[in-house]
Structure formats: structure tokens, C-alpha cells
Chain A
């Protein structure tokens, strides 16, 4: 993206025909950037144009020769598809839930790590570890080692209390995926909030104590307002990553049972590569991209507003 600032007309000098400042000179200086621009267009914009083109076709790979132009029929189908609405809701629930809970847990751990105690460095490393694990491996770990109904650790721990026979993943598919995601994303939120906590000036905290605030008062009145923009950043970045979740769903539930734990990326994948319905899935993809652009615009505006404000005194 380029930002061009309009210059007042009287300040714009006449462009020379040759030499520095001429139109040719401008292109010579921009030329080294062109390969990157061309590459970006090829890998992001062309596929999107193709997707739009496919979305206007009825084209199922299992029925060769059936390909034909159908206009916006695919889009009408998308909006009347109750499964699509269910999956869209799943996406919102999964993203919002995972962001919210990892944020709350991250805040809690960050507050603990912000105080000095023996072995803090070691504990901090342990807490960061989930973030360093490959998402596929993490999902597999939750599916087999922890949630498995026969030899999972959770049922093993619960069995002495007579509650160890739940098949967690088929009973609570969306919640199970969400738990695995929260486990992976809590360290990210924790690090972000910890950075916020440690950038807080000490004298402001001391002033609040002298001014009569108890621990909760200091936290509510001084720390939370200071952390606001770190929390906002966590929400936006977390949402951007988590809305695209695929690996955890693929590994743990395959979107099932039915579409109970599928989100939009996974559902589109299913329709395109398991149902081979290129036209339908392309239309869904376009709808998702447009919706994402709308949401992302607001989210990014939020980030830039809270970070360009510059709260430091």
C-alpha cells in the first residue's frame, strides 16, 4: 500500500523533462521495487480474481463437463445454506472464546510473573513453551494424550472421582478445540501483557498507593487503563490468527461430529477438496474474504488509534 500526500498546487514545482525529478527518473528509482510488487500481485491478487471467476460458475470436479456460468447462484446458495450459517457462528464462537480465555489466563499469568519469586525465569520459560510447539503437534497432544476416552490423562485423573468415562472430543467438540487453542495462545497474550506491565512507571503505582488506593484500586484505576492498548493489540492479533484456525480442527475433530466443530476455513476446505464443489467453495471464500476485510479494517483502526495516541507523559 502506498500513501500519497496531496501537495498544495503552488508548492509543486514543474516537473523537469530530464534528469533528477523527471518522470523517467522516478520510474528508475521505483524499478527495484517492481519485482516485489509483481510477485505480490501474482500470489495474492491473481488467485483472488480467479476465485471470483470460479464463484460465478457451477463447477463440480466429480461431474466433468457440467461446468457453466451461473451468475450469482452460488452466492444465493451460500446465504441460504444453514450449514454455512452454523459454521460461521462456530467461527465467531471459537475465535472470540479462544481470544477471550487466553487473554484472561495470559493476564493472570502475567500478573504472577510481574512479581519477583524464586525460579521466576524457569517458570516463565515453562509458561512460554506451549507457544513454541507446532500447532499440529499441540492438537495431536491434546487429542491423544489428554482427551482420549480410554488412555487420556484427563480421564485418568478424574477416574478416582467416578467421572472418568467421558469422550471429551465427541461430547464437547468445539470446546475441546477451543481449550487446545487457549492452551497455545495463552503464552502469547501473557508475553504481550507482561511487556505492558513491565513498561509501567513505578512512580505512578506508588502515587496511587499514597493516594489511598488498595491493591484492587491500583489495578483497576491505574494498571488496567495502562494495559488497555496491550490488551487491544492482543485481541486483534489473536483474532487475526485464530480466525484462520485449521490445523487444530483438522487434527482433533475433522470438523465433526457433522459440522459441530467446523469453522469457515475448514468448511471451505471440505467443500472444495472433499466435496469437489469448486463454484460453491469459491463463493464462500469470497464472502469470507469480504467479511474479513470489513472486520479487519475496524480492528486495525482500533490498533492504530490506541498506539498513535502516545499515552506516556
Chain B
């Protein structure tokens, strides 16, 4: 077990072009579960592969347990990796697959067998040890890949979208299993996903990347409540946060024809930053819906109602002449219908403000 540090680590595929990973700084503590998340092309997988030794480190350093990994081949890094397509050895049985990392390290045969049996026990694979991977289901293959990683007892687990080939239900249950197993084993884990729900539910901390740059590295709650910039705000949360670029007025901001009053604390932050327009972020659950005609609130018209049982999401557009879309969460079976006129008022005082030119949090 060890801590992992990315210190200004960069990966440059073509000289002069934008780096795939640009001066990444991450300090991952011993035993921590860190999720790298971002849209495709954000460099999250590249960062993981740099840590695994499958990509060059072109600039900066990556340290595992304080040891610089530049130029160290994968096999000497004491890591184990779970791949997206599992990458099982097709010609080896399940047992041989799981024993392979031990075999390559010269572990004696009896010890290999007992470790494989123990891991198979935990993962419920005992009866499949003599089968070839092609005779297993997707979920079982995924577990073999996990088993191959845990028999090694490595310093760091690396997981590259290990759940993306499972069906939705399997994904949710396996997600919990992986998180629970990591807590029990206490092995530092770096997990890559493009799914923000996985990131939020599994990680002790989440690093959000975009275009090879780190956007924010924080706990899931902090990422949700205090997004560092408009990109983070829009990426985390489902449905996404409503973001409006609005002119600043006396009491708050102008939203279409009406004025949206903002609390004093937010107004002072705007004036401190000296902004004349501001990007306002309101999460779907931060609205209250009133029937139209009571005077207060922003007027909108409902386009689609998504009824989920416990909640419902209203997809509406504002009556501001530009038909700006807005998403609102209400309680289930609220009776809203397509075409309804509604008035929206922000409930919370913790609205998010961003500088429209830089996207940074105000």
C-alpha cells in the first residue's frame, strides 16, 4: 500500500500539439479511492495508463510510495490493473488467469493455488476455476479480472472503466461490491470512469479532467456543492445544473422580462468581482414551482414531464424571448402537464455564480 503522486505529469503525443495530459497534479493518500472522471478525450485514461507504465511520462513525475516511476517498466511498479474489456488470457483457465501475476513473480505453485482459491471464494468464482473465459458471462469475466488484480496484493489498484461492459443492473451491484472490497482491502485505488454517478458514489475523492487539465479534485459532496467552475457545475449532477448568463441588476439579475432577486451575500460577491453580467447556476432541485399568475418568479412553459415515481423532472423553457431551456425537479405526481405555464422561484441561497468570461467560480 502506498500513496500516489502526480507531480506536473504530462503526456505529449505529438510535439507542439496540446498535451493529452497537461501538468497534472494529484496527491492520493494511502488507501484512498480516487476516481478520475471526465468526458471522452479528457485524458483520464491516459493519466491512468501513465501511472500503469503503459504510456510514457513526457514531463514531470509520477511517484508511487515516494518512488519516482519515470522509466520504470509496468512489471516493476507493483500495481494491478482491471481493463475495460477485462483483457483475460483467452487460452488460460480462470484459475490460471488469476494465478498468472503470481506465476510471473515466481511464487511457488502451492502458494499460488491457495491464494487463487481464497480470492475465488471471495468473488464467488470457486466453481469456475477450470473454465476458459469464453465460457463465462460478462459479469463473471469482470470478477475474474478483479480476482487477477487482488491475488497480487499490489500497492495500487488501477481500474479503467471496469463496469462499462455490464448491463445497468449489474453495474449498480458491482459498483457497490468494488467499493466495499476496496474499503476492506485498504489498497490505494485509482478508478477511471466517464460516468459521474459512478464517480460520485464510489470515490473518496474525485478528480475531474477536461482536455487534459485538472478541473477540480475534491470529495463528491464538495464537487456538487462548490464546483470550481462552470464546467464542473455542468458535468456533475443529473440532470445537469441550469446555467444562465444574465445581466446584473439592482436587486440581483435580469431574467427575461422579470428580475430575479438574489440574496445580499451573492450580490456582494458579484460586485466584488466587478461583473456586469454573471453566469448563474441553479440545480434542478433548487427551484420551487408555483402556478402562473401569482406575480413572483420566472415564467416558463413545460415541454416534457419525466415522471420517475419519487421525483419528477420538468423540462421547460423560459418566456424570455430566447426559449432558454430549464430543468426543474418536483415531487412525484405533481400533476404538471405538457404546455402548463409555471412560475419558478429559486429556493436556496446557495446558488452558484461563475464569471462568464473565464467560467471560474465567483
- A binding-site residues for B, Cβ under 8 Å: 201, 203-204, 206-214, 217, 221-222, 225-226, 228, 310-313
A91 to chain B, nearest CB (A): 33
B-side contacts of A201, CB under 8 Å: 85, 87
Interchain CB contact under 8 A, B90 and A226: yes
Q: Any chain A CB within 8 A of the CB of B264?
A: no
CB of B244 within 8 Å of the partner chain: no
- 4 A-B pairs closest in CB distance: A225-B91, A207-B87, A212-B104, A203-B87
Bound Cα distance A311, B80 (Å): 24
Chain A contact residues: over half helix, strand or loop, or mixed? helix
The closest CB in chain A to the CB of B103 belongs to A221
Cα distance, A201 to B80, chains bound together (Å): 19
CB distance from A197 to the nearest CB of B (A): 15
Q: How far is the CB of A208 from chain B (nearest CB, A)?
A: 7
User: Could you list 30 examples of A-B contacts with CB < 8 Å?
Assistant: A203-B84, A204-B87, A204-B89, A206-B52, A206-B74, A206-B81, A207-B89, A207-B148, A208-B89, A209-B54, A209-B73, A210-B52, A210-B74, A210-B81, A211-B75, A211-B100, A211-B101, A211-B104, A211-B152, A212-B75, A212-B104, A213-B100, A217-B104, A225-B89, A310-B134, A311-B91, A311-B134, A312-B134, A313-B86, A313-B141
Q: How far is the CB of A218 from chain B (nearest CB, A)?
A: 9
Residue of B nearest to A226 (CB): B91
Q: Are A209 and B75 touching (Cβ within 8 A)?
A: yes
Docked pose: A236 CA to B51 CA in angstroms: 44
Whether a CB of chain A sits under 8 angstroms from the CB of B88 is yes
Q: Does B105 sit within 8 A of A, measured CB to CB?
A: yes
Alpha-carbon gap, A204 to B141, bound state (A): 13
Which of chain A's residues has its CB closest to B105's CB?
A212
If A210-B75, A211-B80, A214-B75 touch, whether A221 touches B87 (CB-CB below 8 Å) is no
Tell me, yes or no, whether B31 is within 8 Å of chain A by CB.
no
B53: CB under 8 A from chain A?
A: yes
Alpha-carbon gap, A211 to B87, bound state (A):
11
Complex CA gap A210/B104 in Å reads: 10
B8 to chain A, nearest CB (A): 24
CB distance from B100 to the nearest CB of A (A): 5
- Alpha-carbon gap, A210 to B85, bound state (A): 15
Query: Is B79 an interface residue when CB atoms closer than 8 A count as contact?
Result: yes
CA distance A203 to B105 in the complex (A): 20
Q: Which residue of A lies closest to B133 (CB)?
A: A313
Chain B residues lying within 8 Å of A226, measured Cβ to Cβ, are: 90-91
- Separation in Å of the A86 CB from the closest CB of chain B? 41
Distance between Cα atoms of A203 and B165 in the complex (Å): 15
- By a CB distance below 8 angstroms, the chain B residues around A211 are 75, 80, 100-101, 104, 148, 152
A310 contact set on B, CB distance < 8 A: 134
A59 to B101, CA, bound (A): 69
Known contacts A203-B87, A311-B90; is-contact A213 B134 (Cβ 8 Å): no
Does the CB pair A206–B83 fall under 8 Å? yes
Query: Other CB < 8 Å A-B pairs besides A203-B83, A212-B104, 20 of them?
Result: A204-B87, A204-B89, A206-B54, A206-B87, A207-B88, A207-B148, A209-B54, A210-B54, A210-B75, A210-B79, A210-B80, A212-B101, A213-B104, A225-B90, A226-B90, A226-B91, A311-B90, A313-B88, A313-B90, A313-B134
